[in-house]
Amino acid sequence: NAGVTQTPKFQVLKTGQSMTLQCAQDMNHNSMYWYRQDPGMGLRLIYYSASEGTTDKGEVPNGYNVSRLNKREFSLRLESAAPSQTSVYFCASRVLATNEKLFFGSGTQLSVL
Protein backbone atom coordinates (compact mmCIF):
# COMPACT_ATOMS: atom_id res chain seq x y z
CA ASN A 1 0.00 0.00 0.00
CA ALA A 2 1.32 3.43 -0.95
CA GLY A 3 -0.79 5.26 1.67
CA VAL A 4 -1.31 8.92 0.70
CA THR A 5 0.34 10.01 -2.54
CA GLN A 6 0.76 13.66 -3.49
CA THR A 7 1.93 15.15 -6.76
CA PRO A 8 3.92 17.15 -7.61
CA LYS A 9 6.59 17.21 -4.92
CA PHE A 10 7.92 20.62 -5.95
CA GLN A 11 6.42 23.44 -7.98
CA VAL A 12 7.39 27.00 -8.85
CA LEU A 13 4.69 29.34 -10.13
CA LYS A 14 4.56 32.94 -11.21
CA THR A 15 2.00 35.23 -9.60
CA GLY A 16 -1.35 34.77 -11.31
CA GLN A 17 -0.69 31.27 -12.65
CA SER A 18 -2.98 28.40 -11.74
CA MET A 19 -2.26 24.83 -10.77
CA THR A 20 -3.82 21.75 -9.21
CA LEU A 21 -2.25 19.65 -6.48
CA GLN A 22 -3.26 16.02 -6.68
CA CYS A 23 -3.80 13.66 -3.77
CA ALA A 24 -4.82 10.00 -3.72
CA GLN A 25 -5.13 7.48 -0.88
CA ASP A 26 -5.43 3.71 -1.14
CA MET A 27 -6.56 2.99 2.44
CA ASN A 28 -10.31 3.24 1.76
CA HIS A 29 -10.53 6.26 4.06
CA ASN A 30 -13.67 8.36 4.04
CA SER A 31 -12.21 11.70 5.13
CA MET A 32 -9.54 13.70 3.34
CA TYR A 33 -7.86 17.00 4.16
CA TRP A 34 -5.60 19.69 2.74
CA TYR A 35 -3.23 21.55 5.07
CA ARG A 36 -0.55 24.15 4.60
CA GLN A 37 2.57 24.34 6.73
CA ASP A 38 4.42 27.63 7.13
CA PRO A 39 7.62 28.27 9.14
CA GLY A 40 6.97 28.84 12.82
CA MET A 41 3.30 27.94 12.57
CA GLY A 42 1.24 24.85 13.08
CA LEU A 43 -0.43 23.13 10.15
CA ARG A 44 -3.54 25.00 9.10
CA LEU A 45 -6.56 23.39 7.50
CA ILE A 46 -7.47 24.72 4.05
CA TYR A 47 -10.36 22.45 3.04
CA TYR A 48 -11.60 19.04 4.02
CA SER A 49 -13.96 16.37 2.76
CA ALA A 50 -15.61 14.42 5.56
CA SER A 51 -16.94 11.89 3.08
CA GLU A 52 -17.21 11.36 -0.65
CA GLY A 53 -19.46 14.00 -2.16
CA THR A 54 -18.91 16.64 0.54
CA THR A 55 -16.36 19.41 0.95
CA ASP A 56 -16.08 22.13 3.56
CA LYS A 57 -13.92 25.15 4.23
CA GLY A 58 -11.27 25.00 6.88
CA GLU A 59 -9.37 27.74 8.62
CA VAL A 60 -7.68 29.34 5.58
CA PRO A 61 -9.74 28.60 2.42
CA ASN A 62 -9.35 31.91 0.57
CA GLY A 63 -7.66 31.55 -2.81
CA TYR A 64 -8.23 27.79 -3.00
CA ASN A 65 -10.79 25.37 -4.35
CA VAL A 66 -11.09 21.62 -3.93
CA SER A 67 -12.66 18.67 -5.68
CA ARG A 68 -13.41 15.28 -4.14
CA LEU A 69 -13.22 13.38 -7.39
CA ASN A 70 -14.07 10.01 -5.84
CA LYS A 71 -13.38 8.23 -2.57
CA ARG A 72 -9.66 7.96 -3.35
CA GLU A 73 -8.84 11.37 -4.79
CA PHE A 74 -8.98 14.91 -3.41
CA SER A 75 -7.43 17.75 -5.39
CA LEU A 76 -6.54 21.32 -4.40
CA ARG A 77 -6.62 24.09 -6.97
CA LEU A 78 -5.01 27.52 -6.89
CA GLU A 79 -6.83 29.61 -9.47
CA SER A 80 -4.54 32.66 -9.38
CA ALA A 81 -1.45 32.03 -7.30
CA ALA A 82 -0.13 34.74 -4.98
CA PRO A 83 3.21 34.96 -3.15
CA SER A 84 1.31 34.49 0.15
CA GLN A 85 0.49 30.97 -1.02
CA THR A 86 4.15 29.98 -0.94
CA SER A 87 4.08 27.09 1.50
CA VAL A 88 4.34 23.34 1.93
CA TYR A 89 1.03 21.64 1.27
CA PHE A 90 0.04 18.35 2.85
CA CYS A 91 -2.81 16.09 1.99
CA ALA A 92 -4.06 13.78 4.73
CA SER A 93 -6.74 11.16 5.22
CA ARG A 94 -8.35 9.16 7.97
CA VAL A 95 -11.05 6.53 8.30
CA LEU A 96 -13.72 8.96 9.46
CA ALA A 97 -13.84 12.59 10.53
CA THR A 98 -13.58 11.48 14.15
CA ASN A 99 -10.73 11.04 16.59
CA GLU A 100 -8.80 8.71 14.34
CA LYS A 101 -5.22 9.57 13.48
CA LEU A 102 -4.37 11.30 10.24
CA PHE A 103 -2.21 9.74 7.57
CA PHE A 104 -0.21 12.34 5.66
CA GLY A 105 1.32 12.49 2.23
CA SER A 106 4.92 13.63 1.75
CA GLY A 107 3.96 17.19 0.87
CA THR A 108 4.24 19.60 -2.04
CA GLN A 109 6.68 22.48 -1.73
CA LEU A 110 5.18 25.40 -3.65
CA SER A 111 6.92 28.68 -4.39
CA VAL A 112 5.03 31.58 -5.95
CA LEU A 113 7.28 34.28 -7.39
Number of residues near another protein (by CB under 8 A)? 19
Is residue 41 packed enough to be buried (19+ CB in 10 Å), middle (13-18) or exposed (0-12)? exposed
Are 18 and 80 spatial neighbours (Cβ–Cβ below 8 Å)?
Answer: yes
> Residues 42-81 vs another protein: string with x where CB under 8 A?
xxxx----x-------------------------------
Please give the Cα distance from 81 to 86 (Å, whole number).
9
Stretch that binds another protein, among 19-27, 65-73, 76-84, 91-99 (CB under 8 A): 91-99
For another protein, which is the closer residue by CB, 13 or 92? 92
Rounded to a whole number of angstroms, the minimum distance from the CB of residue 16 to another protein is 28
Distance between CA atoms of residues 79 and 13, nearest Å: 12
Asked whether position 97 contacts another protein by CB under 8 A, the answer is yes
Distance CA 23, CA 58 (A): 17
Maximum distance among all Cα pairs of the chain, rounded to whole angstroms:
39
Contact with another protein (CB under 8 A) among 21, 76, 105, 112: 105
Binding site for another protein (CB under 8 A): 4, 40-45, 50, 90, 92, 97-99, 101-102, 104-107
